[in-house]
Structure 1
């Protein structure tokens, strides 16, 4: 396990981790380590472990602390010693494991070995031009970063779409720093772009980048750092993968989540006629040792080690069948990632088509919550996991619950199905599913043949009629298949409490301020290359709420100009399929261009959505939307 702390739901993201792991900072750390020689580390903030994990090049004599309660505890492989012993260290250099540490360095002089040079981590700072807050280095806005699965190999291209959503929080001049790595982890290109001055759209197409820098084929990852931001410290984006060889492949995924995790789950085993490739992409400047990660069939507790070293920032396509031959859908796997990677993508190859999706963070900090079983009646149905049922005349919809916490041993679940007008059509108890279950429910098996011909939605809900436990982190994989073309898309997400004035802990969630979060701000990218943009919006309600939504579609141009607005409503517990061409004229969509976007706004309720594009020939993409 890599000795780093990244993210937890109580404290949020660990800024010190991002400051040490940033690719540019990692280069500076390596230079600092080479120049320091044998070094004693003073560790006032408890980051010696992550520091030495991410930069093992330091030749460490010992780690020293002020905190008497920390004495003897391991930090970066060294038992912490009292700072009063520092003067006896046989070193010519002392490193203070802290940023903005000049005043601390001055105070340390009397306790350092005679003549020793005192260094701080300020020697590994990012350049001033990359900082948003120049007065305090460990500020979250200084590290608004993310990784992107980026490929352009003659068969597939990738396309990142986002917007300057920071302008809505007061940011004036946002810039993007990019570094593109090939599959071996070598840097192919590095550049900066300016974001639109207002809330305009921003697109990076691998085809364009390849021509811009004269690159050959590549399959690797892009590191992106937004500078001058406000409000949000994560780069959110939608990522399309599309065929460039006249093939039929088309898919989209959500952003990479930015934080390495101990485990990830929701990786489907292949069907007998499929290959499932997991893209393992190293997020750090140190190699992933052979055997440091493993795959396991969910619930089997028999992990199989990934038996090769993966170079810094390298990408490795791992064929699941090489590790679990004969294992097929509906079995699912977990990745024991050891905090080496951010949320990985996987690729499913079937019948000449390839689709890309992502797995999710399997939480290690989450325990069963008895309060969920005894929620106050005012919370209604409590936690809901909504997902679309696409029009059944064209599509099959399949749902597979996925354990998403290490402690989770069972999933007591019910399926509720709703028509677009909010009418409940069906309740079906799914059972108290064990961690190692094999349920993948095709809604064709539970719905009447003519039901939801034009689409609707369903919700997974906790149901304790046979006992079981719950933690609120209910997840599932949703698979959608075109009955004619065979094209498929899949997505996964987790549950929340939706649209009730009463609260339970931090639910219903809110993007800003205290819960409940009863408003909507969702990003819908526009179509590209002749493909049409669409989304499915769901109005889930745990308890009684407004009978109809008051939803607006705001069409923005590439420069952030609001070009048009369309309004409509969705019934409570209902849904709507939105094609942009049905709400905006062709002239307005041309004016918005492929870099424009639609912002979905509603101040009366919290909507949940899935988005994609349709190529009009049986190909489509589909994944959950993001908000800001």
Structure 2
């Protein structure tokens, strides 16, 4: 496993990791290391020696710290010594593993070996032009970044779609620094894109990028770094994969998680007529070693490792059948990723149709919470995982609970089913599922033509819960056979009472739940839609007070329409039906719909639908 810490509350989230992992830092580190003359002493004031040397290995002869409690501990593969002894090291070079390090160097200068050259990580800083907060380098707003699977090959193209939501927090001039890597990790193009001054939409289309830079077919990753942001350091987007050769493939994934994980889960094993490929994108400048990635049937604890390494920033397609032959749906696959990759995508090919979806971070820092089983009546049903039931006449809806923590050995779950008007149409206790369960269930047996389901905890047969309840939701067109899938986790929704950090989406102190969801616009060939769900753990407002706001590419309001959703109900929204043609034309190709509600928190799924039986679906994101 790569010895990196991707979340550190002391440093403001994963800022140090992002500062080290940036592609421009990776380029600069080579020059820094070239200046170091052996023997080299490393002073580690911020405790990042392990991450630095894991991501950028180099020969270090000694490591020094100022924390008495850290003396004698392993740092970067060496035993840490007191910084007061650094003068005895005989080092000809001292590397101070810190940013904004001038004052640190001045303070330890009397202790350093006489004549030693001193270098710091300020040598690998990003240029000032790429910084939002120049006064403090390790400010989280300096590293609002993410990765995207990006492809224009084999008749498939990709399109990143989002909005300048930073403008809502006061950002005036936001732009993107973009770098495209090919499958070997080579840089294909680097460019910048200015965003609208207001909260307007934007897109990055692989076909346009390919034409702009005269590129051939490519499959790789796009690194996105937002500059000039405010209020929010996460780059959120929807990624459409569509057939650019008039084929039938269409899919959508959403992303916001920009950090690597030791494990990921929610990868389905293939059906007999499917091929499942996991796209592994090395997020770092250091190779992933042979056996650095492994797959395991969930709960089996018999991981099978890849035999070859993956180069820096390279993208590799791994057919899961190569490592786990004969494994079939409804078995689930756990990815042992060793913190080498940001949340991967997987691709399912079935009857010449391709769909893309994402796995989720499997947490290793959770334990069972006995308080969930004894929540007071005021919390109602507690944690809820809502998902849409698409119109039964056309679609088959199915789901599969997915363990999403290394500590989850059982899942005590019940399914509740609701019609669009909020009436409960049925429930089914699914049992206290084992980690290696093989349950996958469709909704055809319930008396509901359209609506939504909710997975909730049910302890009638015992079991444990930690609040991190996840599931995979799969939808299939009964006529065309096209499928789409999404996955997400549970929250407590719409109660006046709180438990730990739930419910979320408060504007101000509770109770003050709100909704702000992004719904992109489609076009004549592929129309966008959303399923908006009003889940409620306990009694809340009888109806939502939802507004669909149509914004143009500059963030200006073009039109708005009210929508009323019953508590525990849902609605399917089509922008081309909600707004007239003139308003949609005024919104333009980068316009979008903002779903707003200041009385409750809605949860939604969005996608595109064409006339050939193709559609896409993933959960919506808010800002």
- What's the RMSD between the two structures over aligned residues? 1.2
Q: Distance in 2 between matches of 1:325 and 1:124?
A: 44
TM-score w.r.t. length of structure 1? 0.98
Residue 617 in structure 1 maps to residue 612 in structure 2: yes
Q: Distance in 2 between matches of 1:591 and 1:219?
A: 34
Deviation at 1:117, TM superposition (A): 1.7
Q: Distance in 1 between matches of 2:566 and 2:298?
A: 38
Q: Is the 8 Å Cα contact of residues 236 and 255 (structure 2) preserved in structure 1?
A: yes
Give unpaired runs (5+ residues) of structure 1.
none
Matching of residues 46-125 of structure 1 within 5 Å: 46-56=47-57, 58-125=58-125
Residue 247 in structure 1 maps to residue 247 in structure 2: yes
Q: Distance in 2 between matches of 1:174 and 1:377?
A: 46
2:468 maps to which of 466, 473, 482: 473
Aligned to 1:591: 586
Deviation at 1:75, TM superposition (A): 1.0
2:517 maps to which of 505, 511, 522: 522
Q: Is the 8 Å Cα contact of residues 62 and 78 (structure 2) preserved in structure 1?
A: yes
Q: Distance in 2 between matches of 1:32 and 1:514?
A: 48
Q: Secondary structure, in 3 states, of the residue corresponding to 2:107?
A: helix
Aligned to 1:549: 544
Q: 1:156-186 CA distances to partner (integer Å, 9 max, x unpaired)?
A: 0000001100000000000100000000000
**1:218/1:486 CA distance change after superposition, 3 Å:** same
Q: Is the 8 Å Cα contact of residues 176 and 225 (structure 1) preserved in structure 2?
A: yes
Q: Distance in 2 between matches of 1:529 and 1:475?
A: 35
Q: Distance in 2 between matches of 1:284 and 1:191?
A: 20
Residue 204 in structure 1 maps to residue 213 in structure 2: no
Q: Secondary structure, in 3 states, of the residue corresponding to 2:61?
A: strand
Q: 1:559-590 CA distances to partner (integer Å, 9 max, x unpaired)?
A: 11110011110000000000111110011111
Instruction: Give the length in aligned residue pairs.
Output: 622
Matching of residues 503-542 of structure 1 within 5 Å: 503-510=498-505, 513-514=508-509, 518-528=513-523, 530-542=525-537
Q: Is the 8 Å Cα contact of residues 37 and 59 (structure 1) preserved in structure 2?
A: no
* Between 58-67 and 508-517, the greater mean CA deviation after superposition: 508-517
Q: Is the 8 Å Cα contact of residues 201 and 596 (structure 1) preserved in structure 2?
A: yes
Q: Secondary structure, in 3 states, of the residue corresponding to 1:391?
A: coil
Q: 1:226-274 CA distances to partner (integer Å, 9 max, x unpaired)?
A: 0000011011000000011221000000115101001000000000000
Deviation at 1:511, TM superposition (A): 6.0
Q: Is the 8 Å Cα contact of residues 261 and 338 (structure 2) preserved in structure 1?
A: yes
Q: Distance in 1 between matches of 2:97 and 2:498?
A: 41
Q: Distance in 1 between matches of 2:143 and 2:42?
A: 25
Deviation at 1:77, TM superposition (A): 0.8
Q: Is the 8 Å Cα contact of residues 476 and 482 (structure 2) preserved in structure 1?
A: yes
Aligned to 1:185: 185
Deviation at 1:14, TM superposition (A): 1.6
Q: Secondary structure, in 3 states, of the residue corresponding to 1:605?
A: coil
1:567 maps to which of 562, 566, 570: 562
**1:473/1:8 CA distance change after superposition, 3 Å:** farther
2:488 maps to which of 468, 490, 493: 493
TM-score w.r.t. length of structure 2? 0.98
Aligned to 2:457: 462
**1:201/1:473 CA distance change after superposition, 3 Å:** same
Aligned to 2:379: 379
Q: 1:38-89 CA distances to partner (integer Å, 9 max, x unpaired)?
A: 2211111101111111111x32111101111101111111110111221122
Q: Secondary structure, in 3 states, of the residue corresponding to 2:613?
A: coil
Matching of residues 284-295 of structure 1 within 5 Å: 284-295=284-295
Q: Distance in 2 between matches of 1:208 and 1:511?
A: 39
Q: Secondary structure, in 3 states, of the residue corresponding to 2:41?
A: strand
User: Which 4+ residue blocks in structure 1 deviate beyond 4 angstroms?
Assistant: 8-12, 511-517
Matching of residues 132-531 of structure 1 within 5 Å: 132-255=132-255, 257-444=257-444, 446-447=445-446, 451-453=447-449, 455-510=450-505, 513-514=508-509, 518-528=513-523, 530-531=525-526
Q: 1:182-205 CA distances to partner (integer Å, 9 max, x unpaired)?
A: 000000000001100111111000
Q: Is the 8 Å Cα contact of residues 553 and 600 (structure 1) preserved in structure 2?
A: yes
Deviation at 1:533, TM superposition (A): 0.8
Q: Is the 8 Å Cα contact of residues 507 and 516 (structure 1) preserved in structure 2?
A: no
Give unpaired runs (5+ residues) of structure 2.
none
Q: Distance in 1 between matches of 2:179 and 2:168?
A: 26
Q: Is the 8 Å Cα contact of residues 417 and 452 (structure 2) preserved in structure 1?
A: yes
Q: Distance in 1 between matches of 2:529 and 2:281?
A: 30
Q: Distance in 2 between matches of 1:517 and 1:153?
A: 47
Q: 1:395-421 CA distances to partner (integer Å, 9 max, x unpaired)?
A: 000000000000100000000000000
Q: 1:403-462 CA distances to partner (integer Å, 9 max, x unpaired)?
A: 000010000000000000000000100000000000000111x31xxx332x10000000
Q: Is the 8 Å Cα contact of residues 507 and 514 (structure 2) preserved in structure 1?
A: no
Q: Distance in 2 between matches of 1:373 and 1:452?
A: 29
Q: Distance in 2 between matches of 1:515 and 1:562?
A: 29
Deviation at 1:10, TM superposition (A): 10
**1:8/1:480 CA distance change after superposition, 3 Å:** farther
Q: Distance in 2 between matches of 1:536 and 1:102?
A: 53
Deviation at 1:37, TM superposition (A): 2.7
**1:514/1:336 CA distance change after superposition, 3 Å:** farther
* Between 430-439 and 557-566, the greater mean CA deviation after superposition: 557-566
